[in-house]
Structure 1
Amino acid sequence: MVLSKDELIGALTHEVNVLRHLITKIDGDAVDYRPTPKQRSSIEVVRYLVVQGPALVQAIRNGAFDRAVWGAAQAQADQADLASLDAILATHPAWFAEQIGAMTDEELRADIQLFGGPMSRGVHLVTLVLANYAAYRTQLFCYLKLYGRDELNTANLWQGRDPKPAA
């Protein structure tokens, strides 16, 4: 794997931290904001992200996607408010460290077939889990900008922090 396990866990932890920072920027009606009627709302994006990481890591570890596990996790997330979702997200870095840390290098290199052609577990972890966080947190950031949060900038999106005040 190009990334070490520690680097992958660090990258996932960073993604969760950026997402948790962006959640603090969702206020008032922005919770239910959706750019078009057929797109997810802000809270629906967060609910998806709360589910996708752990569910996909489990699928990758098991070598099979379980729709029932995903459905149950999504049903639970669908009942949660932003504060509860943030609390759940706070547990994800330690969970990722435990789950991914327990995988051997041989397991990470072993090919599995989840969606599309066969790829190694390591590639699946990067292209599914890590990439999903980056993509959907960027979507959430764009929602916030569209909603009028003009003060947000790349520091919020990429570093998970408010920008430093101009000197």
Structure 2
Amino acid sequence: MSTHRDHLAQSPTIPKVLTLPVGLVPSGVRTAALIQILNRVFAPELREGELDFLDGHVMRIGVDDARLEFRLTLAGTQIKAAPHGAASDLSIDGTVYDFLLLATRREDPDTLFFNRRLRLGGSTELGLYVKNFLDSVELEGRLGPLLKLMNCATDLLGRFGR
């Protein structure tokens, strides 16, 4: 049976020295930055109601090697921070590398979830909605220079991550 430790051993992980500065940034600031990016990137889908499945639900995103956690929900047509201490309906956990693989489309969501590189917990139905949404959205044209930066980070982690 695969454990959390086994998962980290098979994925390149961000060196701990790089996680220290991120840890100094208050979680509210990190969450606000992520929310701003997500709202901008997913603006068309938010307007069209394609993320309505998150309405009234809390999704927790855990980035294991960076020791980060985000709790998000949908309020109207915007992704927002979930109230502090809110229980999550769905959790998605993985390493920086695995989330970069997903964001850059180097791996499809099915492969990452099936191989337990990204792990889902909580509501299976909500998890399927998220996975199908991520699988259907075309991000390449929206990310611009951010995509190039994420590809470089993915290459670096793949080569030098522990």
TM-score (norm 2): 0.29
**Structure ID, larger Rg:** 1
| Bigger relative contact order (CA 8 A; separation at least 6) | 1
Q: Larger % of helix: which?
A: 1
Q: Larger % of strand: which?
A: 2
TM-score (norm 1): 0.28
